[in-house]
Structure 1
Amino acid sequence: MMEDLPGDARKQWADCDVQTLNVGPQAGDTPHEALFPVPLNPLAALLGIRAELLFTIYANATD
């Protein structure tokens, strides 16, 4: 994953103070809840690059 980045991009990633992948779904009115499993392979890959996984849930915008 990160080892496939070109040298400059890999160095920039390594130099980051915070290495976060932010997933930001937009909430709706329905369904009341939804499940989004994260398989183990992507979680292991995040651990391998010392990155954290962050979820930002955006409220349903009303007009």
Structure 2
Amino acid sequence: MADEPATTRFLNVDLDLRARSGLAELVRALEPTMSVMNHHGDFASLELHEQPEDIDDAMRRFVELIHALPPEVRALWDGCESRQMNIGIQAGAEPHSIGFGLSFHSMRLLVGIGAEVEFIVYGARSCANAPEALTPRGEP
């Protein structure tokens, strides 16, 4: 039985933060609503507890969580050097081409919280015994 070709698909969105100070306090405030994937020194990577339906759903949920922060924690968010939404896409053999984008509404929401966007595309697997797709931060 031949293996079906892998399908190109949206994986998830990671929120990557860099801050010279206050990052540990910000991460603690976000932990009840987000999973901490990585945190060391001036860098933290988080993702939503529940898998979003699509990219726009993820952006809307992240923005809602940031808007809900108390003012003192929001000041820590605003003080971050970098607030980047990393959109993970797993490439596959099918379809030949597919688009992944952000709606105008999502872009406006992200600008409102000072967030940047990066698309990360993971290469298609070429053989059936290749490891499963990696998470957006390169972890199995």
Partner residue, 1:3? 67
For residue 86 of structure 2, the aligned residue among 22, 42, 46 is 22
Which of the numbers 95, 101, 104 marks the counterpart of 1:40?
A: 104
Change (3 A) 1:60 1:5: same
Considering fraction of residues, name the structure with more strand. Answer: 2
Kindly report the root-mean-square deviation, in angstroms, between the aligned alpha carbons of the 2 structures. 1.8
- Report which structure shows greater RCO (CA 8 Å, sep ≥6): 1
CA displacement at 1:3 relative to structure 2:
2.1
Distance in 1 of aligned mates of 2:73 and 2:122: 30
Alpha-carbon separation, structure 2, partners of 1:40 and 1:58: 25
What is the TM-score when the length of structure 1 is the normalising length?
Answer: 0.78
User: When the two structures are superposed, what TM-score results if normalisation uses the length of structure 2?
Assistant: 0.40
Which ranges of structure 2 fall in alignment gaps of 5 or more residues?
Answer: 1-63, 131-140
Return 5+ residue gaps in structure 1 as ranges: none
Higher helix share: 1
Aligned to 1:55: 119
Seq. identity, %: 32
SS of residue matched to 1:21: strand
